[in-house]
Amino acid sequence: MHEITATEVHALEGAVILDVREPHELERARIEGAMHIPLGELVARSDEVPRDTTVYTLCHVGGRSAQAAAYLESIGVETVNIAGGIVEWHRQGLPLTIGSDG
């Protein structure tokens, strides 16, 4: 499985980020524009994942997104895991939306 740093993926133009965290985790912090499919729903919702571009998977620290990347690769999706997840994204000072919209 391939991995990329948060800084590297942020620098990519138009990167498709798939956040596989749970909804309550998104309420705390999220990346605007990222797709969201919780890991537990990924198999049932895999048809929502683009097949014509690389998909960058993200979770809290990288474990669940690694599982998601492995599954997506097994069904033919070009996938790269974001090392360190949203924790590393935050550590690098990359843009995040903190808290809920309400």
Catalytic residue numbers, as ranges: 59
Q: Which DSSP category does 19 fall into?
A: E
| Angle, vertex CA 87, rays to CA 81 and CA 89, nearest 5 | 70
C-alpha to C-alpha distance for 83 and 6, rounded to whole angstroms: 7
Terminal CA-CA length for the chain: 37
For residue 22 the two structure tokens come to 């749970």
